[in-house]
Amino acid sequence: MRLLANESIAGLGIKSIVVGTARNVDPKAPLPDAFLKKQREMEDWALGCDMSEVLDHPVVQGYRDLLQSVGRSAKRNPPTVPALIRNIQHRGSIPHINSIIDIYNVESLRSLLAIGGHDLDKVHEWIEFTVSKEEGVFLPILSTEKHVAKTDYVYRDAEGIMAWLDIRDGERYKFDDETGNAIFIIQGNANTSVGYRLEALGRIRDDMVTCMPDVEFETYVIHAGEGLELRE
C-alpha cells in the first residue's frame, strides 16, 4: 500500500506525517493491570483538568490554528483531545470500546495528539494526505454526514475520506471485533515535532505488546510532497 503526502498540506504547516502499522492485533485482548492503572490516572486527570489550560497548550493550540487557517471554527469543530475530555467529563468516565481504541485514547490524553486509528484491511489501494480541493461529504463514526469544503484537509483512500480535519475518523474504516491489522496516523501540526509523535507511537506499541504478544509494529515518516510504500 502506498502513502502519498500532497504538497498542499505543507502550506498548512503539516510538513511530515508519522504512521504506525500494527499487524496481528486483538481488539478483545485483556488489558493488563499496569495499563488499567495508567488509564485510571488519565481518566482522573481528564475529569479534573482545567480546560482553558488544555486549550492553551501548544499542541492543542496548533490544532486550533490549523482549523482557523482553513476557515473552520475551533469552537464548533473542537480538536480531538478537548472533545474527548469533554466526553469524559460528561460521562464521568473514559469510554471503553475495545483494547485497541482504549490504548490509543490513553495516549491521546497523555500527549494531546490527534491520533487517527483505522482497520488497515478496510483501506483500499492507497492513502493520500491532502487539502480536499473539491466539495464532498464525509460520514464520521457514530454521526451524520459532514460537508467537506474544498479547503478542508483530509486523508483518503480509493473509496473515500478516512479522516476529516484531523478531528473525526470515518465510519467505513473503524475498528471492530474482527480487526486483525491496524494503522495509526498522527498528522500533527506546526507545534509537534516528528520525534514527539514517534514517541507517542512508541508508547502505543509498548502498550499493545503487553497484551497482544503476536503484534508486529512498524513506524514510518512521510514528508509533504513525497510518497512511500508500506511494508507487507
Q: Could you say which DSSP state residue 143 is in?
A: S
Question: Which phi and psi (to 5°) does residue 157 adopt?
Answer: -115, -165
Cβ partners under 8 Å of residue 205, min gap 6? 20, 22, 215, 217, 219
Distance CA 203, CA 40 (A): 17
The amino acid sitting at 189 is: N
Evaluate whether 143 touches 131 at the Cβ level (below 8 Å): no
Average pLDDT over residues 163-170: 96
Say if pTM beats, i.e. exceeds, 0.85.
yes
pLDDT at residue number 86: 97
DSSP-assigned letters across all residues of 207-222? HHHHH-TT-EEEEEEE
Percent of the chain with pLDDT over 70: 100
Q: How confident is the model at residue 102 (pLDDT cuts 50, 70, 90)?
A: very high
- Asked if the model's pLDDT at residue 75 lies above 90, the reply is yes
The amino acid sitting at 142 is: L
- Asked if the model's pLDDT at residue 160 lies above 90, the reply is yes
All domains of the chain in start order, with CATH: 2-229 (3.50.40.10)
Which neighbouring-strand residues pair with 134?
none
- Asked if the model's pLDDT at residue 232 lies above 90, the reply is no
